[in-house]
Amino acid sequence: MKINKTELTKTVFVPKEIILDPIPKILFIGRSNVGKSTLINKVIKRKQMAKTSSRPGKTISINYYLINDEFYLVDLPGYGYSKISKTDQARVNKLMDAFFNITNNIKLVFSLIDSRHGYLKSDMQALSSILEKNLRILTIFTKSDKLSNSVLKNQLKNQQTTYGLKVIPFSAKYENSEFEILESIEKGLEE
Ligand SMILES: Nc1nc2c(ncn2[C@@H]2O[C@H](COP(=O)(O)OP(=O)(O)OP(=O)(O)O)[C@@H](O)[C@H]2O)c(=O)[nH]1
Ligand SMILES: [Mg+2]
């Protein structure tokens, strides 16, 4: 998969702005601060296309990036950030519900999980509505540079045996770490 063209098409704050066109969509979802925007930047090889921060809760909108005029990468708002105001949280919940109800042609959902913690109960809660929809989900373990090789290996094995999941390790700090993700996107678009 070669990415020749990227364009931030739309930033969406309210349900009525959600994109309804049939262009294929690849989603990125995960806890606030897990590294969604950083990963998207790495995948599209743009330093600052997707806004990142050390303060979590930055992405409380849905951001659509049109790739090669062919498909969207979608940066979804992070869940599980306790400092977001009740009003904002309610707004985001409503936006996400609407998104999963009216969006068509979702090809693949990348579930981003901090490699140090693995899946937590709260991840399962946040993902439950997606699991119900029978969408294809692939797990990415982010920030793998924060673990030693042997600990990371163990973590990957654990998730495999506990959940039967194939997990892709990723670090924004490692050269070519996005390669397997790009391959998965390509496959996801074909199916
Ligand atoms: N060490 C390390 N830090 C990372 C990595 N990826 C992201 N970070 C850092 O983690 C913080 C959060 O990254 P973001 O990409 O903004 O996280 P996000 O999931 O988009 O966060 P929200 O938009 O709040 O949901 C930033 O300070 C990043 O620099 C990584 O692979 N390794
Ligand atoms: Mg973000």
**Boundaries of every domain in the chain:** 6-190
Domain 6-190 annotated CATH 3.40.50.460: no
Which pLDDT belongs to residue 112?
96
Question: Could you give the residue ranges of the DSSP H alpha helices within the chain?
Answer: 36-43, 86-102, 121-132, 149-163, 179-190
47 has a pLDDT exceeding 70: no
Are 58 and 75 in contact by the 8 Å Cβ rule? The answer is: no
> How much distance in Å is there from the Cα of 32 to the middle of ligand 2?
7
Does residue 41 surpass a pLDDT of 80?
yes
| Section 55-66 average pLDDT | 80
pTM of the model: 0.93
**DSSP 8-class letter at 63:** E
Is any ligand 1 atom within 6 A of the Cβ of residue 63?
no
CB-ligand 1 contact for 17 (6 Å cutoff): no
Non-local (6+) Cβ contacts of 138 within 8 A are 108, 109, 110, 111, 166, 168, 184, 188
- Looking at ligand 1, which residue's alpha carbon is closest to its atom 4? 143
| Spatial separation of the C-alpha atoms in residues 160 and 3, rounded to whole Å | 30
Site to substitute for ligand 1 among 28, 38, 63, most atoms within 8 A of C-beta: 38
* Residue 22 CB-density burial (10 A; 0-12 exposed, 13-18 middle, 19+ buried): exposed
- Residue 161's pLDDT band, with cuts at 50, 70 and 90, is confident
Q: Is 60 in the pocket of ligand 1 (CB under 6 A)?
A: no
Judge if the beta carbon of residue 38 lies within 6 A of ligand 1.
yes
